[in-house]
Amino acid sequence: MSKIEPIRNPAIKFTQLFIENKWQNSSDGATCDVINPATEELICKVQIGNESDVNAAVAAARRAFQPDAPWRLMDASQRGRLMEKLCDLIERDRTYLASLETIDSGKAFSNAYDEMGYSVDCLRYYAGWCDKIHGTTVPCDGEFVCMTRREPVGVVGQIIPWNYPLMMVAWKLGPALATGCTIVLKPSELTPLSALYVASLVAEAGFPPGVVNIVVGYGVGVGTAITNHPDVDKVAFTGSTAVGRDVMRSAAVSNLKRCTFELGGKSPLVVCEDCHDLDEAVKISHNAIFGNHGQNCCAGSRTFVHESIYDEFVKKATELAKKRVLGDPFAADTQQGPQVSQVQMNRILKYIDSGVRDGAKVEFGGARWGNKGFFVSPTVFSGVTDDMTIAKEEIFGPVQSILKYSSFDDVIRRANATSYGLASGILTKDITKALYFAKRIQAGSVWVNCYDAVLTQTPFGGFKQSGHGRELGESGLDEYLEDKTITIKVPAKL
């Protein structure tokens, strides 16, 4: 990474809506400011869509999904080649895109550069699936021959968050394009720049007009217009549980459109007394919560540590947090940049205040870092108990809450005592204990002796109020496919 030179002031090339492979202003000309969270300075203004613009994008996507449209008539293998071409273009412009992501979201350039690679890996994985989505033949009673076809669900609305702007574009576009759907995608108004640039690469790659449409906008406005639209067949939403409920209500009232959700989390990471190495356990736990500045839906935000190693763990965790390097996201040694916005920074600081009021001990951090940019010091709390707000609610920031446990069965009960169920982890030498935990924990992902090992080939999603449906892996395709049964009567004799 040290040999990759970032572009500190990347040119902003696209700020309009992308509909039917054309750039256009919003119908009312509304714009919003895009702010660099590290400097609090204006990057640019982008066009903000509204219901009228969503209607135009959905109409374009519907035209592209007509049975005789080029996208529908295209060989599945050709769809894969188009996706591969898009991947090649992202790789060509990887440094530019990572630089754009850095000024837009505040994440360290080294992380942004890595995420460009992960995004390409995801798209290439799904490109390989295009001509491998098979129906079946079904043995039936009577004089029938039955077969199934797997067909694209139709026009899909995709609403993505600000914490992983381009990665979430890849997670959403990958399976939708592989299955032959058409798309209206809404990036966050806080971090729209990389998605808009990728839109230009969609056109450059040669995708037919209307297959991918991108409309920047607010949740109340573009988001609600997508979820309410009667000609949208499915919505994929990543964001908060509260907004997920609103999306589900809109989907039900409009046309019972299919929904997949990847929502909030308050994920437990259990550090056993027999973990392989305490220093390594501290490091895994540190990265589990402080990665991406704590702005991670599956962050290990409840660190349960066995009482026999608790005091030593807290000491080491505090020392590691003190060494964490904050500052200029473009600097090679920076590990943590700013939070995405002032609103998010203030929200995190309020949670920290609540932890202090509830009696948890701040071992390190606990305040804003610096006086410019939306930085929050990496914060370590000890003495956290299950009833405290910081142990119950999703903070979405660099705040490590360390809880003590004694009984293994009891810590599993405590880990499950939440409305969320997105992810979990356990650090132990005992494989039997790990499997015991994995069987009983209520979470979509269980990581053993690691954390946040999200792999393109494996399904990702949540239990309970962390959502339903899955992204990534073969399971991610199922969310964009309909099964059609074709039954043919064949007489026993001619």
User: What's the distance, CA 276 to chain centroid?
Assistant: 30
Beta carbons of 471 and 226 less than 8 angstroms apart: no
CATH classification at residue 338: 3.40.309.10
**Is the pLDDT confidence value at 2 over 60?**
no
Beta carbons of 49 and 217 less than 8 angstroms apart: yes
The set of residues, in sequence order, having a beta carbon less than 8 Å from that of 407 and lying 6+ positions away, is none
Res 494: pLDDT: 83
Q: How far apart are CA 302 and CA 306, in angstroms?
A: 13
**Is the pLDDT confidence value at 364 over 50?**
yes
Residue 462 lies in a domain: no
3-state SS, residue 38: coil
One domain, residues 295 and 368: yes
Residue 491 lies in a domain: no
Q: How far apart are CA 70 and CA 259, in angstroms?
A: 27
Residue burial 276-296, b: 16+ Cβ < 10 Å; e: rest = eebeebbebbbbbbbbbbbbb
Average pLDDT over residues 251-255: 96
**Is the pLDDT confidence value at 407 over 50?**
yes
Beta carbons of 104 and 195 less than 8 angstroms apart: no
One domain, residues 192 and 325: no
Confidence of residue 3 (pLDDT cuts 50, 70, 90): confident
One domain, residues 182 and 309: no
Q: How far apart are CA 64 and CA 155, in angstroms?
A: 9
Model pLDDT for residues 192-233, shown as the tens digit of each residue:
999 999 999 999 999 999 999 999 999 999 999 999 999 999
Average pLDDT over residues 48-73: 98
3-state SS, residue 269: strand
Mean of the per-residue pLDDT values of the chain: 97
Average pLDDT over residues 146-162: 97
- Residue 100 identity (one-letter amino acid): L
One domain, residues 297 and 246: no
Residue 31 lies in a domain: yes
One domain, residues 152 and 60: yes
One domain, residues 64 and 43: yes
Instruction: Give the residue from 7, 97, 38, 36 showing the smallest Cα distance to 334.
Output: 38
Average pLDDT over residues 72-101: 98
Residues 10, 16, 19, 23: is their CA dihedral positive or negative?
negative
Instruction: Give the residue from 8, 4, 93 showing the smallest Cα distance to 43.
Output: 8
Instruction: Give the residue from 225, 190, 181, 183 showing the smallest Cα distance to 50.
Output: 225
3-state SS, residue 372: coil
One domain, residues 140 and 86: yes
Average pLDDT over residues 114-132: 98
Q: How far apart are CA 52 and CA 214, in angstroms?
A: 14
One domain, residues 205 and 191: yes
CATH classification at residue 128: 3.40.605.10
One domain, residues 473 and 441: no
Q: How far apart are CA 260 and CA 248, in angstroms?
A: 9
Residue burial 104-142, b: 16+ Cβ < 10 Å; e: rest = bbbbbbbbbbebbebbbebbbbbbebbeebeeeeeeeee
Res 34: pLDDT: 98
The rounded percent of the chain whose pLDDT value lies above 90 is 98
Active site residue 262: yes
Beta carbons of 198 and 169 less than 8 angstroms apart: yes
Structure tokens, 351: 């949670």
Domain hosting 474: range is 17-263+467-483
Residue 460 lies in a domain: no
Structural domains in the chain (count): 2
Model pLDDT for residues 307-342, shown as the tens digit of each residue:
999 999 999 999 999 999 999 999 999 999 999 999
Instruction: Give the residue from 340, 418, 401 showing the smallest Cα distance to 366.
Output: 401
Structure tokens, 199: 């839109």
Structure tokens, 426: 């356990």
The set of residues, in sequence order, having a beta carbon less than 8 Å from that of 186 and lying 6+ positions away, is 49, 157, 158, 159, 160, 214, 215, 216, 217, 222, 223, 226
Residue 474 lies in a domain: yes
Structure tokens, 477: 């395709």
Beta carbons of 166 and 141 less than 8 angstroms apart: no
Res 1: pLDDT: 44
Residue 251 lies in a domain: yes
Exactly one of 189, 262, 363, 471 is catalytic; name it.
262
Q: How far apart are CA 240 and CA 341, in angstroms?
A: 16
Model pLDDT for residues 269-287, shown as the tens digit of each residue:
999 999 989 999 999 999 9
Beta carbons of 185 and 158 less than 8 angstroms apart: yes
Q: How far apart are CA 106 and CA 34, in angstroms?
A: 12
**Is the pLDDT confidence value at 165 over 50?**
yes
Structure tokens, 239: 């964001």
Instruction: Give the residue from 201, 6, 204, 2 showing the smallest Cα distance to 95.
Output: 6
Res 276: pLDDT: 87
Q: How far apart are CA 180 and CA 475, in angstroms?
A: 16
Residue 1 lies in a domain: no
One domain, residues 479 and 447: no
Q: Which residue has the tokens 């592989």?
A: 178
The rounded percent of the chain whose pLDDT value lies above 70 is 100
Beta carbons of 464 and 444 less than 8 angstroms apart: no
- Let me know the angle formed at the C-alpha of 144 by 140 and 148, rounded to the nearest 5 degrees: 70
Residue 489 lies in a domain: no
One domain, residues 223 and 131: yes
Beta carbons of 401 and 390 less than 8 angstroms apart: yes
Structure tokens, 168: 């979430």
Q: What is the DSSP string of 149-211?
A: EEEE--EEEEE--SSSHHHHHHHHHHHHHHHT-EEEEE--TTS-HHHHHHHHHHHHHTPPTTS
One domain, residues 101 and 233: yes
Confidence of residue 492 (pLDDT cuts 50, 70, 90): confident
